Structure 1
Amino acid sequence: MFIGHLLRLLWLAPATVLAALEVNLDSPESIRNAASQVAYDLMTFYHGNETGHVPGILPGPPPDGDYYWWQGGALWGTMIDYWHFTGDETYNDVTYEAMQFQVGENWDYAPRNWTLSLGNDDQAFWGMSAMLAAENRFRDPPADRPQWLALAQAVWNEQASPDRRDDTCGGGLRWQIFPSNRGYDYKNTIANGCFFNMGARLARYTQNDTYATWAEETWDWLVGVKYIDQDYNVYDGGHVPFNCTDINPVQYSYNAAVLLLGAAYMYDYTNQSQIWEERVTGLLDGIERLFFQNGTAYEISCEGGICNTDMLSFKGYLHRWVATATQVAPFIRARVMGLLRTSAAAAAAQCTGGANGRMCGFHWTSGVFDDRVGAGQQMNVLAALSTLLINDTDAPVTNTTGGTSRGDPTAGSRGISLPHDEPPTTGDRAGAGVLTAFVLATTIGGAIWIALD
Structure 2
Amino acid sequence: MRTIAITAILVVAHQAWAALQVDLNSPESIKRAASLVASDLLTYYHGSEPGQTPGILPGPPPAGDYYWWESGALWGTLMDYWHYTGDSTYNELITSSMLFHTGPPLNAYMPENYTISMGNDDQGFWGLSAMLAAEIGFPDPPADEPQWLQLAQAVFHTQADPGRHDMVCGGGLRWQIPMSNIGYDYKNSISNGIFFNLGARLARYTGNETYAHHARKTWDWMMAVGLMTEDGDVYDGAHTGVNCTDVFKAQFSYNAAIFLQGAAFMYSFTTGEEQSLWAHRVQALLDRTTSFFFRIGPIIELSCETPAAIICKTDMLSFKGYTHRWMASTAQLAPFTRDTIMRVLRNSTVAAVNSCRGPLHNGRACGFRWTTGGYDGLTGAGQEMNVLAALSSLLAFHEEGGLDGKTGKGAPLTGETGGTSKGDPHAGTGKGGVDPTQLVEVTTGDRVGAWFLTVFTLGTIVAAFALMGTGRFEDREGMAAAVENNQENKKELSIWYKIAREVIFRHQG
- TM-score where L is the length of structure 2: 0.78
Indicate if the aligned counterparts of 2:167 and 2:506 stay in contact, CA closer than 8 A.
no
CA deviation vs aligned residue, 1:384-417 (integer Å, no higher than 9, x gap) = 1111101345221000000100000111047997
Identity value in percent = 58
In 1: Cα distance, 2:50 partner to 2:425 partner = 37
**Residues 286-365 of structure 1: pairs in structure 2 closer than 5 A:** 286-304=288-306, 305=309, 306-355=311-360, 356-365=362-371
Determine helix, strand or coil for the equivalent of 1:238.
Answer: strand
In 2: Cα distance, 1:255 partner to 1:373 partner = 23
Change (3 A) 1:192 1:330: same
Question: Equivalent residue for 2:404?
Answer: none
Question: Equivalent residue for 1:403?
Answer: 419
Amino acid of the structure 2 residue aligned with 1:246: D
In 2: Cα distance, 1:350 partner to 1:175 partner = 33
Indicate if the aligned counterparts of 1:135 and 1:403 stay in contact, CA closer than 8 A.
yes
In 1: Cα distance, 2:375 partner to 2:23 partner = 19
Q: Is structure 2 residue 161 aligned with structure 1 residue 156?
A: no
In 2: Cα distance, 1:188 partner to 1:296 partner = 26
Question: Equivalent residue for 2:27?
Answer: 28
Determine helix, strand or coil for the equivalent of 1:118.
Answer: coil
Q: Deviation at 1:421?
A: 3.8
Q: Deviation at 1:271?
A: 2.7
CA RMSD of aligned residues (A): 1.6
Q: Deviation at 1:366?
A: 1.1
Aligned length: 409
Determine helix, strand or coil for the equivalent of 2:175.
Answer: coil
Structure 2 unaligned spans of 5+: 1-15, 400-409, 431-483, 488-497
Determine helix, strand or coil for the equivalent of 1:220.
Answer: helix
Question: Equivalent residue for 1:239?
Answer: 239
Q: Deviation at 1:336?
A: 0.2
Q: Is structure 2 residue 380 aligned with structure 1 residue 374?
A: yes
**Residues 91-130 of structure 1: pairs in structure 2 closer than 5 A:** 91-105=90-104, 106-130=106-130
Determine helix, strand or coil for the equivalent of 1:187.
Answer: strand
Indicate if the aligned counterparts of 1:351 and 1:361 stay in contact, CA closer than 8 A.
yes
Determine helix, strand or coil for the equivalent of 1:114.
Answer: helix
Question: Equivalent residue for 1:209?
Answer: 209
Q: Deviation at 1:179?
A: 1.1
Question: Equivalent residue for 1:275?
Answer: 277
Amino acid of the structure 2 residue aligned with 1:124: G
Indicate if the aligned counterparts of 2:261 and 2:327 stay in contact, CA closer than 8 A.
yes
In 2: Cα distance, 1:207 partner to 1:422 partner = 32
Amino acid of the structure 1 residue aligned with 2:283: T
**Residues 32-47 of structure 1: pairs in structure 2 closer than 5 A:** 32-47=31-46
Change (3 A) 1:422 1:153: closer
Q: Which runs of 4+ in 1 moved over 4 A?
A: 414-419
Determine helix, strand or coil for the equivalent of 1:382.
Answer: helix
CA deviation vs aligned residue, 1:223-245 (integer Å, no higher than 9, x gap) = 00011113211101100011101
Q: Deviation at 1:350?
A: 1.4
Q: Is structure 2 residue 401 aligned with structure 1 residue 385?
A: no
In 2: Cα distance, 1:19 partner to 1:229 partner = 45
Indicate if the aligned counterparts of 1:85 and 1:389 stay in contact, CA closer than 8 A.
yes
Question: Equivalent residue for 2:493?
Answer: none
Using the TM superposition, name which of 266-275 and 68-77 deviates more.
266-275
Indicate if the aligned counterparts of 2:20 and 2:354 stay in contact, CA closer than 8 A.
yes
Change (3 A) 1:376 1:153: same
Question: Equivalent residue for 1:65?
Answer: 64
Q: Deviation at 1:354?
A: 2.5
Question: Equivalent residue for 1:79?
Answer: 78
Amino acid of the structure 2 residue aligned with 1:173: L
Indicate if the aligned counterparts of 2:168 and 2:506 stay in contact, CA closer than 8 A.
no
- TM-score where L is the length of structure 1: 0.88
Change (3 A) 1:55 1:353: same
Question: Equivalent residue for 2:131?
Answer: 131
Q: Deviation at 1:65?
A: 0.3
Amino acid of the structure 2 residue aligned with 1:42: L
Indicate if the aligned counterparts of 1:360 and 1:369 stay in contact, CA closer than 8 A.
yes
Question: Equivalent residue for 1:449?
Answer: none
Indicate if the aligned counterparts of 2:351 and 2:371 stay in contact, CA closer than 8 A.
yes
In 1: Cα distance, 2:103 partner to 2:398 partner = 35
